[in-house]
């Protein structure tokens, strides 16, 4: 299955992929038969034989490099180096390249500060606004954090959730009580919704 970022090679040092303008055109054209991260689309677009080209995938956020298929000279090491040195800000200008933080493992957060509580209060206010429109109670903090990887104009300000996440705290809510989870997912700060508003 093709994933972002997909590209092909001929085994002789030539690499094929869709640039920013090509991607935008494909995504905006509802009748387009090309898909930005489809190896078949890449080969068809550049008029090259799919069965005679190698297929690779590279995730610029995790730096994971995958060999999808080798159909000619194995140039996987060159392909990996090529992908690592691509300027993804030009390929996907909306993408923010930064390290993915696992708040339960990467940061040993064991105490909650007043700043953390203030950020939780801000996030609960955003959550209340979004609840009626698009979210359910599952995964909201994850989506809030994911928003920080895209330079997009959102209808809501997710920055309080992002800051909490990057400080090693994940907020959760069960409809009555807000919680801040820290190291290893441990609940560090439970507070009823009504008390948080008055905090």
pLDDT tens, residue by residue, 4-42: 899 999 999 999 999 999 999 998 888 888 999 999 999
Whether 122 and 85 map to the same domain: the answer is no
What is the number of structural domains in the chain? 2
Whether 22 and 61 map to the same domain: the answer is yes
pLDDT at residue 164 in the model: 96
The per-residue pLDDT for range 152-164, each reduced to its tens digit, is 888 889 999 999 9
Whether 190 and 147 map to the same domain: the answer is yes
Domain contains 27? yes
**Phi-psi domain of 182 (left: phi exceeds 0; alpha: psi -120 through 50; beta: other):** beta
Whether 131 and 167 map to the same domain: the answer is yes
Sheet holding 170-173, edge to edge: 170-173, 177-181, 187-192
The per-residue pLDDT for range 111-138, each reduced to its tens digit, is 999 999 999 999 998 887 776 555 444 4
Whether 70 and 134 map to the same domain: the answer is no
Instruction: Name the domain boundary from 91, 124, 156.
Output: 91
Residue 136 belongs to domain spanning: 114-197
Domain contains 64? yes
Element of type H or E holding 67: strand 64-69
DSSP tag of 66? E
Domain contains 82? yes
Domain contains 106? no
- Measured CA to CA, the distance from residue 175 to residue 158 in angstroms comes to 19
Helix (H, G, I), strand (E, B) or coil at 167: coil
The per-residue pLDDT for range 43-61, each reduced to its tens digit, is 999 999 999 999 999 999 9
Domain contains 44? yes
Domain contains 103? no
Element of type H or E holding 16: strand 15-16
Please write down the long-range contacts of 145-150, taking CB distance under 8 Å and 24 or more positions apart. Answer: 145/101, 148/96, 148/98, 149/61, 149/95, 149/96, 149/98, 150/94, 150/95, 150/96
pLDDT at residue 138 in the model: 42
CA-based Rg of the chain, rounded to a whole angstrom? Answer: 22
pLDDT at residue 1 in the model: 56
Whether 85 and 146 map to the same domain: the answer is no
Domain contains 101? no
Q: What average pLDDT does the chain have?
A: 90
For residues 70-76, average pLDDT = 97
Whether 81 and 118 map to the same domain: the answer is no
Domain contains 105? no
Percent of the chain with pLDDT over 90: 72
pLDDT band at 139 (very low <50, low <70, confident <90, very high): confident
Instruction: Name the domain boundary from 76, 91, 106.
Output: 91
Whether 76 and 146 map to the same domain: the answer is no
């Amino acid at each position: 299955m093709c994933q972002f970022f997909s590209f092909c090679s001929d085994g002789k040092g030539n690499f094929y992929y869709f640039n920013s303008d090509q991607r935008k055109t494909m995504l905006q054209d509802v009748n387009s038969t090309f898909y930005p991260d489809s190896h078949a689309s890449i080969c068809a677009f550049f008029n090259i034989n799919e069965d005679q080209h190698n297929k690779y995938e590279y995730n610029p956020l995790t730096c994971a490099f995958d060999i999808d298929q080798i159909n000619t000279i194995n140039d996987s090491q060159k392909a990996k180096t090529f992908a690592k040195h691509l300027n993804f800000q030009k390929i996907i200008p909306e993408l923010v390249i930064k390290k993915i933080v696992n708040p339960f493992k990467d940061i040993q957060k064991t105490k909650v500060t007043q700043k953390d509580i203030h950020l939780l209060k801000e996030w609960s206010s955003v959550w209340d606004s979004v609840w009626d429109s698009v979210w359910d109670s599952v995964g909201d903090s994850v989506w809030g954090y994911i928003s920080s990887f895209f330079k997009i104009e959102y209808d809501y300000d997710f920055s309080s959730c992002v800051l909490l996440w990057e400080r090693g705290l994940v907020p959760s809510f069960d409809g009555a009580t807000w919680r801040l989870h820290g190291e290893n997912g441990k609940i560090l700060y439970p507070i009823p919704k009504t008390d948080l508003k008055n905090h």
